[in-house]
A = this chain, B = another copy of it.
């Protein structure tokens, strides 16, 4: 398996996030990627640098005004005399308009986001943009015949939607990869999201499309972040009707139930006729994760990898969440080695 790693990941390094009105240290930190890189390098994988791709790979899944905003956000924030990382204070909930882009910077920051857990800092754009290059690079490898690839990047991507960031995510790496695979010849692509948290951004990007299936196993949004999406009755719309499969499980679900859900997802992916598979590899389904509530052990990630290999598709792993930093290296390695061992 070829591994592409984001050389700029550590440049996204916010100081703190807000949780229920309190400053808390960021869960999503550079050491996450470092642990994964050490684990994969230690297992003998060569860590490759990404190629550069034009911004069109972003525009294919994000709106142009959103990408333009992100690119210039830090300079604007600083130019307005603000100090520290950028946070919004007001968000356009239901009934409010987003068809007009406000001039006010903080208003745009709110318009293009949905939480206070995702500060934008000096290096956010560089890190997120290089992550998108990693995703596109891995997709190009698969399209050229490689059977599998691993995108080792942060910040993660699956909560980032057509034009919003949140949940530590800015650019949707999995969606960028899936879209690149489509454009390079795969008629149908499946995204399987095994992060503990529902990938609301990925779902929303592909919700009305019949050529990309989104399937997700995650904590029930009634009690788990991101709360406002991820229910079982979200099955796609328009041309995408039937091409969205949410498998929410109660917090605390057994690993047996988790693997049963995986079987349901893989059956649907097979029926769909996917020609390539993108795996949003959140490692926070692990029992050791500090903010998640499933119970997978390292051996279960090996089993996950093995089971994914059995699906028989060109497979692209994208690192998403996982906040037990020391454990995510080991669990990423287990997933990859399980896949390789088949």
Contacts and interface: CB of A to CB of B under 8 A. Distances in A.
Given A100-B222, A221-B102, A92 B228 contact: yes
A114 interface: yes
Contact of A86 (B21, B93, B96): B21
Nearest to A91: B91
A115 interface: yes
A227 B204 CA distance: 24
A114 B97 contact: no
Contact of A95 (B21, B100, B116, B229): B229
A96 B229 CA distance: 6
Given A95-B161, A200-B96, A222-B100, A89 B228 contact: no
Interface in A214-230: 221-229
Contact of A231 (B86, B89, B97): B97
A89 to B, nearest CB: 5
A193 B86 CA distance: 32
A227 B110 contact: yes
Nearest to A92: B228
A98 B89 contact: no
A157 interface: no
Number of this chain's copies in the assembly equals 2
A90 interface: yes
Q: Name the interface size band of chain A.
A: 35 or more
B21 A96 contact: no
Contact of A89 (B20, B110, B162): B20
Given A96-B114, A115-B91, A84 B228 contact: no
Contacts of A329: none
A57 interface: no
B114 A93 contact: yes
Contacts of A314: none
A87 interface: yes
A228 B107 CA distance: 8
A53 interface: no
Contacts of A95: 161-162, 200, 204, 229
A90 B227 contact: yes
A20 B94 contact: no
A166 interface: yes
Given A116-B116, A161-B95, A20 B86 contact: yes
11 contacts: A21-B116, A89-B117, A91-B115, A93-B114, A94-B94, A95-B204, A95-B229, A96-B114, A97-B229, A97-B231, A104-B223
Interface of A: 18-22, 82, 84-98, 100, 102-104, 106-107, 109-111, 113-117, 119, 161-162, 164, 166, 200, 204, 221-229, 231
